[in-house]
Amino acid sequence: MTHHVLPGFRLSAGYTLTVLGSCVLLPLAALLWTAFELGPSGWWAQIGTRRVLAALRLSFGASLLAAIIDTLLGLLVAWVLVRYRFAFRRVCDALVDLPFALPTAVAGLALTALYASNGWIGSRLLPLGIEVAYTRLGVLLAMVFVGFPFVVRTLQPVLESLDTDLEEAAYTLGASPRQRFLKVILPLLLPTLLTGFALALARAVGEYGSVIFISGNRLFQTEIAPYLIVQKIESQYDYRGAAALSAVMLIASLLLLIAVGVLQRWARRWAVIR
């Protein structure tokens, strides 16, 4: 037992553990317990149906794609906000947080209204043969929306602290603007880009409120996994099935995040301590 200099360790750690225990740990244990109780065959019976597999594929596929799009858009926006001074820059900066603060259900409603066949954007896309609302494209759009701030907000401080000496060094050594960006700046941002990517991904995989309105929840087509979990609870009182699916989502997201973490280690291999 180490000796603590400052008082309050028992109280603060105790309260922290109590809240974590009742709100996070106990429920988590219950979920995993219920899922494992099923056994492999029972588990597969719940997960292996065509409907569930289609939903899982959509959930993970669309959120991976959405996180990639978020990373690209986030890099652009963070770059512009940090590097350039222009009118309404502060307003633009404030706007980035909108998806953080906007209730997901409201976001879902708004996106649906915009992209429905009679919406402002939807009606203009329709003649081009592009349908967004009630298609997989809509699911993707909602996921891009909710994940967007994560990349911008993780990148901004790193971009701000990026040493201008490095760019100037590359400049005096003869590098073109493109070479300076691709060979110097981008590799240095890569670890942070991966962090933002992981956060956007985690958010998109679990997203419910903003997706279900615009997806239309069409069987085999636009059902996402969280929607199926709710369906199993609501209409079928199938808690075991819901728990099995929840566990799959939880574990799959965890594995994805671990994979990103490994990638991140590789991207930071140069920052070794002697």
Return the residue of 53, 94, 255, 262 that touches other proteins, per CB under 8 A: 94
Return the residue of 140, 193, 194, 202 that touches other proteins, per CB under 8 A: 202
Return the residue of 80, 255, 258, 259 that touches other proteins, per CB under 8 A: 80
Which residue, 137 or 188, is less far from other proteins as judged by CB? Answer: 188
Q: How far is CA 262 from CA 119, 147, 202, 257, 268, in A?
A: 43, 21, 16, 9, 10
Contact 207, 158 (CB under 8 A): no
Which residue, 41 or 88, is less far from other proteins as judged by CB? Answer: 88
Contact 138, 217 (CB under 8 A): no
Assess 173 for contact with other proteins (CB under 8 A). yes
Assess 209 for contact with other proteins (CB under 8 A). yes
Which residue, 21 or 48, is less far from other proteins as judged by CB? Answer: 21
Assess 19 for contact with other proteins (CB under 8 A). yes
Assess 139 for contact with other proteins (CB under 8 A). no
Assess 213 for contact with other proteins (CB under 8 A). yes
Euclidean distance between CA atoms 23 and 17, whole angstroms = 10
Assess 42 for contact with other proteins (CB under 8 A). no
How many CB atoms neighbour CB 113 within 10 A?
16
Q: Write the interaction track for other proteins spanning residues 243-262; mark x where CB under 8 A is met and - where it is not.
A: x--x--xx--xx--x-----
Contact 198, 257 (CB under 8 A): yes
Euclidean distance between CA atoms 196 and 149, whole angstroms = 9
Return the residue of 26, 53, 219, 255 that touches other proteins, per CB under 8 A: 26
Site for other proteins in 95-124 (CB under 8 A): 95-107, 109-111, 113-114, 119-121
Which residue, 222 or 253, is less far from other proteins as judged by CB? Answer: 253
Q: How far is the CB of 127 from other proteins (least distance, A)?
A: 18
Site for other proteins in 43-72 (CB under 8 A): none
- Interface with other proteins: number of residues (CB under 8 A): 111
Assess 219 for contact with other proteins (CB under 8 A). no
Which residue, 24 or 53, is less far from other proteins as judged by CB? Answer: 24
Assess 181 for contact with other proteins (CB under 8 A). no
Among residues 89, 49, 106, which one has the least CA distance to residue 231? 49
Assess 165 for contact with other proteins (CB under 8 A). yes
Q: What are phi and psi of 246, to 5 degrees?
A: -60, -45
Assess 176 for contact with other proteins (CB under 8 A). yes
Q: How far is CA 193 from CA 47, 65, 153, 201, 255, in A?
A: 33, 15, 11, 12, 19
Q: How far is the CB of 130 from other proteins (least distance, A)?
A: 14
Return the residue of 53, 130, 230, 255 that touches other proteins, per CB under 8 A: 230
How many CB atoms neighbour CB 67 within 10 A?
27
